[in-house]
Amino acid sequence: MSTKTDIRTISSLLGDALSQFAKLFQNEVDLAKAELGEKVQQIGVAVGLVAAGAVLVIPAIVMALFALSAALIAGGWSQPVSYLISAVVAAVVAAILFAIGMNRLDTRNLAPRETLRQLEKDKDTMKGMVR
């Protein structure tokens, strides 16, 4: 009779361990979903910044060419040099906007670090349970 009780106890423990593992796995999936949702939002913001930079390039160039060129011409500079300086200033502003957006799209910032850390801890926990 003791053997049947031991077998039930072992099967009960095994069932509990599998149940706990399933719950743990579901928790990890939920964590991954939440973290990836945050990363998708970061991508959206970064793409928005890149798009804003792209949209603002044209008016920035036009305005810079008109205002800066007019000021330089009034200051005695030649027209071609004035226009070139204006274009360079507008290009620098656009490059800054693009750089900020691209920096936010860096893959190191988008990795689901918390999920990966938690999965590593779970792996160690499961190894400890098996021993």
- What is the CB neighbour count within 10 angstroms for residue 121? 11
Residues 119, 28: contact at Cβ < 8 Å?
yes
The ranges assigned to domains in the chain are 2-130
CA distance 122 to 14: 18
Taking 90 as the threshold, does the pLDDT of residue 115 lie above it? no
* Confidence band, pLDDT 50/70/90 cuts, at residue 95: very high
Residue carrying the six token digits 């099967």:
11
CA distance 112 to 122: 16
Classify residue 31 by its DSSP letter: H
Residues 85, 72: contact at Cβ < 8 Å?
yes
Residues 98, 111: contact at Cβ < 8 Å?
no
Q: How large is the average pLDDT for residues 4-13? A: 72
Residues 69, 83: contact at Cβ < 8 Å?
yes
Tokens of 20: 């706990």
pLDDT (0 to 100) of residue 77? 94
* Confidence band, pLDDT 50/70/90 cuts, at residue 94: confident
Percent of the chain with pLDDT over 70: 87
76: left (phi over 0), alpha (psi -120 to 50) or beta: left
| pTM exceeds 0.75 for this model | no
pLDDT in tens, 39-63: 888 889 999 999 998 888 788 778 7
